[in-house]
Amino acid sequence: MNILQMKIATKLPVVIVTLAFIAAAVTGVLGFVRSESALEASAFDKIDAAHDGRISELTNYLDSVKGDVVVIAENHMGIDALEQIEEAWRDLVSNQADKLQKMYIEDNPNAAGEKHLLNAATDQTVMYNRVHAKYHPWFRDLLNARGYYDIFLIDDDGNVVYSVYKEADFATNLVNGPWKDSDLAKVWRMVQDNFKKDYVAFTDFAPYAPSNSAPASFIASPIFDHEGATHGTLIFQMPVDRINGIMQQATGMGETGETYLVGNDHLMRSTSRFTDKGDTDILKTKASRVWTQLVHNLMAKI
């Protein structure tokens, strides 16, 4: 028997029950769709919150670095250090790179990566060693406290008259020396071309040969002497660990979520929190493995 052959008394309950089933089905579908939409909206809200939070933290950190380099470049300690180290550099007369690299790298009793522990070379008849002993502990403490990879003082001729870590770039010349095409030289030239108070130059991460080709980024500001004349440049080599620490925070990301920095070349500028300790994704890993329209849209906001 089909529904058309039923009596009205029988048809009505069947229709009502059928409509009830239809209504329940529609309600269930709508509820599922709305629930799915709500979950999706919640997920996107979390992503936006994580994105905004990380950008805010990163911006605050970079602002603090900018503040450091400007304040120290304009502080009497930074100015006096450069003036006295330059004088000591000139006192060596010639072949400064050979002499200083021998004293502070080749004859340094500390292992590679620990050359900064030497306060001064032993020959105190050398003016440079006496001046180095005066200022090096202060710059080293600054580096350790703020987490910078290295700190440089460059004179107006492009001589790296001082560095904390004493790598292969120490005492070389950024105009005609072996690292004249490096980003250290690039950021120095940016300052030379824009030598004005409070100017800050910045370079993106790139492999840096003196640091075993590890990813390096530099931030720099000009140093004026006490009379206001152009004098030299203060440069920080940026710390990778501090930036990774900001981006690898897991709060609100669940078990599989993460945030990371990506350059215009789609290469990562921070290391994934899921990458094995000791490894890096910076300039090595393409974000294509997680490259979605969402990531593209988020980058457009930055």
pLDDT digits (tens, 9 = 90+) for 129-138: 999 999 999 9
Element (H, E) at 289: none
The domain spans of the chain are 63-238, 257-302
Protein fold of 63-238:
Beta-Lactamase (3.30.450)
Q: Which range, of 56-65, 129-138, 145-154, averages the lowest pLDDT? A: 56-65
Q: Is the pLDDT of residue 23 over 50?
A: no
Q: Is the pLDDT of residue 293 over 70?
A: no
- Whether residue 288 contacts residue 266, with contact meaning beta carbons closer than 8 Å, is answered with yes
- The pLDDT tens digits for 231-255 are 899 999 987 776 766 666 656 555 5
Q: Is the pLDDT of residue 109 over 70?
A: yes
Q: Is the pLDDT of residue 96 over 70?
A: yes
Q: What is the pLDDT of residue 139?
A: 98
- Which residues are within 8 A (CB) of 8 and not within 5 positions of it... i.e. 6 or more apart? none
Q: Is the pLDDT of residue 25 over 70?
A: no
Output 55 or 13, whichever has higher pLDDT.
55
Q: What is the pLDDT of residue 125?
A: 93
The dihedrals phi and psi of 281, each to the nearest 5 degrees, come to -100, -10
- The pLDDT tens digits for 204-238 are 888 899 999 888 899 999 999 998 888 899 999 98
- Whether residue 270 contacts residue 260, with contact meaning beta carbons closer than 8 Å, is answered with yes
